[in-house]
Structures are given as structure tokens and as C-alpha cells.
Amino acid sequence: MSCQYLIFNMAQELQKISAIPLPLKAMPMLRRVRPHTSGGEDRLSALHDDLILLIVSRLDTRTVLSMAILASRWVRIPHKLSALDFRVSDILPPEYERTVALRKCNLPRDATLAGTLDGLKARCEIDTIRSFTNGITSFLEADSGHDRHVKTLRLEFFQTYSSICVDRLINVAVRAWGVEDLEVVVRPSSGYDPTRTYN
């Protein structure tokens, strides 16, 4: 995505927010600026692994796992992390939180619209927890055979009937990785029946 495109979109958003119309002629002329390159060299690859690990440890787990595919040298970096965060809220769309806020305010007042929103919210939770469990399962399968020591593991997921994948992750974390600090946050799910027990 180009810088020009982002600036134009920001100007449009600001125009929508403010009541004062912004004429297009008032906008400065934008021109494409090529990024300055220093002879095509990759400066990140020149850094020592310890320094890269220090930088990467400040990123969220999802970003670190994604960046591991950028360079073959970085494939082993996620295995050296001392803290892992798996949060379902990281993959929830922003519309979900807005829907939850509306429903907390008992909006919309129309029962049909409210039912539709509740259905969409429940569907979103199901799709998100499916993606979440698939991601954790893939992570565990890719991790088999690697020596890993994780000090802290943070989990956040929806309360559902099926917790096999999360149970497996906790089991591997405590037994194989030597996790010392385990933080588990269970978010209530719209479609969850509280009369059924959670494993």
C-alpha cells in the first residue's frame, strides 16, 4: 500500500469526521517518493542473533511466528522466546468488539436486529475459536522435536465445549517446556451453555 494512498484515505476519514468540508484543491500535491536504499544490503541480517532475539522479544507472539517465514535464519528465533502469548482477541475482527459494546448497552432495541447481531456475534466466536485452535495445533505439530524452554505462557480463549487443543497446549507447556508462569483468561462465549461442564 503506497504512502499516497494512505494519506488520501486519512484525509477522507478526517473530512468525514469534521463538519468542515475539505476541498480537494486545499490538499497538497502528493508525489511518489522512492525509499532510500543503501546499495540493497540487508541490515537486519547483519545483526547478531542475540540482538535480534532482544528486538523480537518485544513483539507479540503472532508477529514473531509470522516473521519466522521471512528468512531461513529466523526460523529458529521463535523457539528461543521465553514468553508466549496466545490470545483469541488478537484475531477477533474489530466489528466484534463494537457488537459486544452495542449489546451491553442493550442496543439495538429492535428484537429482530438484536437477534441478528447476536447470531453474527456467535458465528464470529465460532470461526475465531476454530482459527485459534487450528493455529495452536499447527504450532504444536511444528514444534515437536524442538528443545524449547518457555518461562511464561499466556492464553486467552472463548469458553467452549471443546478444549482439547488448549488442554494439549497447557500439558506440553508444563511438561516439556518447563513453564513457570501460566496465565489463563477464559472469555465467556455467546453460544456457550453454562450448564455443561468445562474440562
Tens of pLDDT along 49-71? 888 888 888 888 888 888 877 77
The model's pTM is 0.65
CA distance 75 to 88: 24
Tens of pLDDT along 84-139? 999 998 889 888 988 888 888 888 888 898 888 898 898 899 888 888 888 888 88
Classified as helix, coil or strand, 111 is helix
**What is the pLDDT confidence band of residue 198, given thresholds at 50, 70 and 90?**
very low
Enumerate residues 6+ apart whose C-beta is below 8 A from 21. Answer: 15
The amino acid present at 108, given as its one-letter code, is P
Q: What average pLDDT does the chain have?
A: 75
CA distance 61 to 35: 29
